[in-house]
Amino acid sequence: MSALRELKIFAFVAIVVGVLYWGVEPLAHSIFHPKTTPADFKFSDLEDLPTTGNAENGKTLATTYCIACHSIEKDGYPALMTNELAASVYGVVPPDLSNSGAIYDGKFLANLIKDPVKTLKLSHKFNDSKPFPMTPTPISDDELGDMVAYFKELAADTKLSNKEIFVEACVRCHSVKYDNIVALTPSDTIAGYMGAKAPDLSMMIRSRGAETLNKFINDPQKTLANAAMPRVGLTQDSQEKVIAYLESVGDSKKDQRESVGKILIGFMIIMAILAYLWKRKIWHDLH
């Protein structure tokens, strides 16, 4: 008799937990994190341009078309202006291109050189009356391949840490207070240039979560309509490292918390078994 009652109670608890776990939680999740397509590291919306070619010629092209604004330190082309001056001239400090072939996707790079505004998904912010600082480069598609080949070759042997990739890709706009990183471009200058301040990223991993960040960085427009931030164009590997870095800053106790969680669950299971054995013993004596 009592065994049946216990079974009923167990079934009731199991159903309540099941409804919460498979029903309510996913529902809440889908409201807080609306379903969007996953991050697209193939950049399917972009043109299939060549990403290989003659690196030698690519270097000639890069030194013709890029170094007026960008440094390529690794190949001996330093910045022509201080960061301060560059920020006030362009609205944002143009990044050094030494490692661009390693951290950015090749197809993205070719498209960026051909049509920056479209590739960065910024046409709602920049147009003929408000021109984007980086202009389209008037070269053939084959020459785009040459240039991408040059940047890939230049970066072939670079090994960057998670933090170094983050600094290259994000710090011209964003600060990370908790890691003493100050954005290269002053935040008011960014706001004047893009129409929104770039927030400090120290705690972003906590407020947004890794999954949302992964989609956002890959394509800001997808999760934030009319976002001021350009699409960054990182390869999947680089982007995972950027998120790992943000995790290490904003959620440094994550590993610890997860291992404590496992210990706690083990502890509860042992306690449940002990409680059950104890109960059986008491009832046994009473009968």
Residues that bind ligand HEC (CB under 6 A): 62, 65-66, 68-70, 90, 92, 94-95, 97, 100, 104, 112-113, 133-135, 137, 169-170, 172-174, 190, 194, 196, 198-199, 201, 204, 208, 213, 216-217, 224, 227-230, 232-233, 242
- In this structure, the chain runs to a length of 287
Closer of 90 and 254 to ligand HEC (Cβ): 90
Distance CA 190, CA 93 (A): 10
Cβ 132 to ligand HEC shortest distance, Å: 8
Q: How far is CA 236 from the centre of its chain?
A: 9
Residue 198 · residue 173 · CB < 8 Å: yes
| Amino acid code (one letter) for 164 | E
Residue whose CB is less far from ligand HEC, 35 or 284: 35
Compute the least distance from the CB of residue 107 to ligand HEC, in Å: 12
Contact 118, 111 (CB under 8 A): yes
* Token couple for 87: 């920020």
Q: Give the nearest distance from C-beta 71 to ligand HEC in angstroms.
A: 11
Residue 204 near residue 246, CB atoms below 8 Å: yes
Distance (Å, whole) CA 153 – CA 148: 9
- Minimum gap (Å) between residue 139 Cβ and ligand HEC: 8
Q: For residues 87 and 90, what is the distance between their CA atoms, to the nearest angstrom? A: 6
Alpha-carbon distance of 39 to 25, in angstroms, equals 23
By beta-carbon proximity to ligand HEC, the closer residue of 210 and 254 is 210
Instruction: Between 66 and 149, name the residue whose CB sits nearer to ligand HEC.
Output: 66
Task: Rank residues 55 and 62 by Cβ distance to ligand HEC and give the closer one.
Answer: 62
How far apart are CB 55 and ligand HEC at their closest, in Å? 13
